[in-house]
Structure 1
Amino acid sequence: MHRSSILFLILLALRICPAQEAFDRLTFHAAPKPLSKDAKTNDWPRVLGPTDDAHSPETHLLKKWGAGEPRAVWEVQMGEAYNSPAISGDYCVIFHALEGKETIECLHRETGRRFWSQDYPISYQDRYGFGNGPRGSPVISDGVVVTYGVTSELRAFDLKTGRPLWQHDLRKEYNVPQDFFGAGGTPLILNGRVILNVGGKKGALEGNEGLRERKTRLSEAGVCVAAFDLQSGKVAWTVEDAWGASYASPIPAKLHGQTKVLVYAGGESDPAIGGLMCIDPASGKLHSKFPWRNEDYIQAIGTSPVVIPEKNRAFITTAYPKGRPLGGVMVEYDAEFQAKEVWQSQKLAVHWMNPVYHEGHLYAIDGETEPKSRLVCVNADTGAEVWEQHIEWEDAEFSKQSGRANPVRLSILRASLLKVDGAFLCLGETGSLHWLDLSPAGAKVLAQAQAFYALNTWSLPALSYGLLYVRQQSEDLLRKSGPRVICLDLRGE
């Protein structure tokens, strides 16, 4: 073979299989078990999984955990962020704020070794004292990674090489205000377009405006939702409206046989305005708006719509304000995509986790604060509460290692739920993992483990090819290890 041909094949191989590198924040523990020959696997390209509803098609997962299980495969120390990884093929993308820069890193899903890294400086200080990193998760589609940062930087990168493709500073382009906790929604990529709840305003907000004047300006119309071409970044369409940007993610919805996009919008405004938008993803036509927001000024929407396509319905929920939450509402869309209320309930007021719909029922964590949180089952047809349950236990290991004389009682608190492999995988707010059997008959714990002891575990874990990626968002109370992402082996027989 000619030398030039050999060189071409070598370069081609390097492009197909880019080099991976170890780095100082990576700890590799042990290789994962082989996948079962009968296992069904899937990518996890976006925040709520491949079907945008906290369901996964994966099978043959490890359901019985012995001592030390599920085992850690690798872990990477991370900066500040409230989000989850995205996985496509061999590529696992994480997004966080590290040393004053929003950082995007692409890792090998089974080793944690790094393919590439990109970053850019940001200047953000959370005014409520929460972390200063991104709230939105990375999204992967058609070989492109898209991120939306806490300062409204929308960026796209080539998945295999990390090459920057395009970017938008939406704060400058659309006058996006900081909002309560910065920008935070995760984009939706649908049919080659990046759809985002932007929450822009008509005129730029002046630094010398008084609080009342600022609140009034935040209620003015601007670009509420926008779509960008995935490959070029060019604006495809915009929807102008006074409703601001929430922390929920746009969700595709099959309604009357057509694909629409549902956006639960609502940012900082006084009085607070927002609700559920139904938009045509091809043209950007706004079909309808269903208001669902308490009038109190301080409230942040973090839960995306839950779609029930066979009934042309969608459920949205908010936990604000304290003590008297607006709660949740089920709406049904007619053939013209106009929404009408089916039922509402204050007993299903969810802070940020996404309710999971399964066989006619909604399973969720009701309650804004930790003491009021409870696992509930609600009839999705009527809104009637079927049961509530508190999953609690005495943790002898925590008591022993922390030097406490009395047993420490823990709870899942404001947990996340993922429906997979015939059960529910639950990630508790302090780092506990549980396999749960949830049905209208009640809740049963099938298995339990403790990945770490850390507060603010607020992100749904990602599951792909039998591996679970869990985001620890604060320091471990026992081991004093900092924020990290941990890859756990869930591969079963």
Structure 2
Amino acid sequence: MTAGISRWLFCVLATGQALVADDVVVEEWPHFLGPHMNATTRETPLLEKWPEKGLEVVWEKERGEGYACPVISNGRLFYFHRLDRKETVECREPKTGELVWSFAYPVEYQDRYGFSSGPRSSVVADGDRVYVAGVTPQLHCLSADKGELLWKKDLAKEYEVPQYFFGYGPTPVVHGNRLIINVGGKVSPEAGGVCVAAFDKMTGKALWEVEDTWGASYASPVVAKIRGKACALVLAAGESKPTHGGLLTIDAETGEVYDRFPWRAKKYESVLASSALIIDDTRVFISECYELGGVLLEFDESRKSKPLWKQREFGMHFMMPIEKDGYLYGFAGRNPPDTEFKCVDLKTGEVMWTKDYRWKREDGQIEGLFRASLLQAGERYFALGEDGLFTELELSPEGSKELQRTRFFTAREAWTMPSLHDGLLYAVQNTVDGQSGKKRRLICYDLRPEALRSEAERLEPTQ
């Protein structure tokens, strides 16, 4: 999961300024949260001014059900969805969409709330292997070059994982030789099962297991150093009466549990779906949108946490907030229309400002960003709204300014975070487009500056 710099000899931007190799940064996107596990990438430069007619579509493909994010690694794009009654992993050429291989297996699952019956988690790419955990859940390890099955585990059967509200959801994370996953097995108020496990990524053998009653949430684990020690930060929260859940801080190497911080609404139909945001070696931000909001935790030398502040008005439903220059930015709230874009002082938790990104169209209909996904690329900030609006924003503690806006599609449930690699942006349309009538699609948009686009056609970058 290493970053790379694309090395063109040089090219000239529209401004006439020469662009040398050190000015062009390309990073892989091996996990749905990006190369740094926080919705950020160092990718630069990108197209400054978007065409009036919208970003150019490089390619698009009809797709099946699910909310997975495409990931890109070693010159391949990997995508996970449900076609007919099979969960399917596809490997495609990132620049053309051409299918390289596919791997599928039968699955029986019906969402009891009427949402998509496809997978919630995304592929994880790691060198010559890819990993994927389905909605039932079944865990597979495949070869990245040919899609050959290397090993698999039926987590539902092995660990007695219940269906939960929306099926199984968290995406695994790779750390060294370990594949760490919020299993959420055999959960009951009285006795827990294996809540979190680390498997040998080469064989699938369990290396350590953590038993807990908290279960599996819809937030994906992340690994970061806390007080100098690599820790798995797992927001665990399954379906339970009474509700329980929160942040488990676990030694990524040994499975030792350092800390257990409860953070879950009392409401039965509530989930944790926004992954932990690592601020630094001692501070972590977590949130939920139903009752408690957000909290900034500080860890002592024993890696025990204490809240520095709590902010009820800054709770994310599923998006990852962005930290910039000592402030947090995020689309806080549970459902439209109560979701608003907010800025919070990282030191105090004070809400600096609130902005409602909604507009009235010419036909009188209201559109907006609502529970949008934020994406930082270099020093630029983008948001994909949940009905297909895509914007660039300027962020500061004084306020937010919309720099430009375009519409990718008009379709609800655009809850999948977009991915960005080599100047190409990949967005997922999860329902039928209400204007064009086009079915669910995986769409590649061109965000490359014209000069780099022309140069890329002549010279392939090396990573």
**379, 382, 401: which is aligned to 1:425?**
382
Question: Is 1:162 equivalent to 2:147 in the alignment?
Answer: yes
User: Could you tell me which residue of structure 1 aligns to residue 436 of structure 2?
Assistant: 479
The one-letter amino acid of 1:247's match is Y
Tell me by how many angstroms 1:220 deviates: 2.6
The one-letter amino acid of 2:205's match is K
Question: Is 1:118 equivalent to 2:103 in the alignment?
Answer: yes
Q: Structure 1: any 5+ residue segments left out of the alignment?
A: 1-34, 203-216, 397-405
User: Could you tell me which residue of structure 2 aligns to residue 364 of structure 1?
Assistant: 330
TM-score normalised by the chain length of structure 2: 0.91
Q: Distance in 2 between matches of 1:219 and 1:53?
A: 35
Q: Distance in 2 between matches of 1:481 and 1:219?
A: 48
> Percent identity, aligned pairs only?
42
User: Could you tell me which residue of structure 1 aligns to residue 458 of structure 2?
Assistant: none
Equivalent pair of 1:136/1:186 in contact (CA under 8 Å): yes
User: Could you tell me which residue of structure 2 aligns to residue 185 of structure 1?
Assistant: 170
Question: Is 1:441 equivalent to 2:398 in the alignment?
Answer: yes
User: Could you tell me which residue of structure 2 aligns to residue 327 of structure 1?
Assistant: 293
User: Could you tell me which residue of structure 1 aligns to residue 313 of structure 2?
Assistant: 347
After superposing on structure 2, the runs of 4+ consecutive aligned residues of structure 1 that deviate more than 4 Å are none
TM-score normalised by the chain length of structure 1: 0.86
Tell me by how many angstroms 1:301 deviates: 1.1
The one-letter amino acid of 2:181's match is L
Tell me by how many angstroms 1:124 deviates: 0.3
Q: Deviations over 1:280-313 (max 9, x none)?
A: 1111111110011122211111100011115x11
Q: For 1:487, what is the secondary structure of its paired residue?
A: strand
**CA RMSD, Structure 1 to Structure 2 (Å):** 1.3
Q: For 1:128, what is the secondary structure of its paired residue?
A: coil
Tell me by how many angstroms 1:83 deviates: 1.8
**90, 95, 98: which is aligned to 1:105?**
90
User: Could you tell me which residue of structure 2 aligns to residue 171 of structure 1?
Assistant: 156
**130, 144, 155: which is aligned to 2:129?**
144
User: Could you tell me which residue of structure 1 aligns to residue 260 of structure 2?
Assistant: 289
- Equivalent pairs counted in the alignment come to 431
Q: Distance in 1 between matches of 2:376 and 2:31?
A: 16
Equivalent pair of 1:219/1:269 in contact (CA under 8 Å): no
The one-letter amino acid of 2:155's match is L
Question: Is 1:244 equivalent to 2:215 in the alignment?
Answer: yes
The one-letter amino acid of 1:220's match is A
Q: For 1:370, what is the secondary structure of its paired residue?
A: coil
> Of Structure 1 and Structure 2, which has the larger fraction of its residues in helix?
1
- Distance change >3 Å, CA 459–CA 348, structure 1 → 2: same
Q: Structure 2: any 5+ residue segments left out of the alignment?
A: 1-18, 452-463
Q: For 2:337, what is the secondary structure of its paired residue?
A: helix
Q: For 1:171, what is the secondary structure of its paired residue?
A: helix
Q: Distance in 1 between matches of 2:190 and 2:183?
A: 14
Equivalent pair of 1:270/1:296 in contact (CA under 8 Å): no
Q: Distance in 2 between matches of 1:130 and 1:319?
A: 19
Equivalent pair of 2:74/2:127 in contact (CA under 8 Å): no
Equivalent pair of 1:36/1:491 in contact (CA under 8 Å): no
- Distance change >3 Å, CA 314–CA 193, structure 1 → 2: same
The one-letter amino acid of 2:209's match is T
Q: For 1:268, what is the secondary structure of its paired residue?
A: coil
The one-letter amino acid of 1:467's match is L
The one-letter amino acid of 2:257's match is L
Q: Deviations over 1:137-196 (max 9, x none)?
A: 110012111001000101010011111111000000000000000000000111121100
User: Could you tell me which residue of structure 2 aligns to residue 87 of structure 1?
Assistant: 72
- Distance change >3 Å, CA 36–CA 249, structure 1 → 2: farther
Question: Is 1:383 equivalent to 2:345 in the alignment?
Answer: no
Equivalent pair of 1:423/1:438 in contact (CA under 8 Å): no
